[in-house]
Structure 1
Amino acid sequence: MILKGDGTFTTTGLPVGLEEARGPSEQRKGSGTWELGSADGADYPVSLRFQRISDYWDSAEEGDSYGAGLYVDGSRQAPRLFEYWGDPDLCDLNWFKRNN
């Protein structure tokens, strides 16, 4: 995943768990916009609005967007992004590693 300073992102292999999507999930391409969530915790700390997900969603055809998000752990100086794989109660996490 690449989060750009202009509020857009691109992904490969995300989002996971789309049973209706065709093709292998690790090759799935996505793009859209991202923003930081509210401080009250009502939403994802990092909200993702996919405009396009290969073999699944295209806002030009479907309208609207596909929503997802990421959670944040760590400190302000060294934040770490993650998502849950499946049921959050199982605590299976997908951690994202920062590349500079």
Structure 2
Amino acid sequence: MREAAAGAQPVMCGHPAPYDGTFPCWHLIRFTGSSPFGHSGRMDTKTLCAAKAGLPPRAAAKGAVPREPLSRRRHTHHAPDDATERAGLSANLMAWPGPSHRP
């Protein structure tokens, strides 16, 4: 695991963020009193994927996205596996410059 840069802020990645981020934020605030993500520390991986791939947001389905940023892990619908798969997608998207065939 990499060291965080000085002043780095945690970001919650969701696919889509409004759906995936609701319960964790509620849970954090309810049981710890605050969320380290704040109100704007969420990233929607579907939107990021669409923007980087040059697709309309509704077209950012897994089958329409180039293979480069996809995680190599399977989506099993078992929460720990899926969280790991989505974390890989998020990390890959952040590093991915976009498709090479883009003008």
TM-score (norm 1): 0.23
Higher RCO (CA-CA < 8 Å; seq separation 6+): 2
Structure in which a larger fraction of residues adopt strand? 1
TM-score by length of 2: 0.23
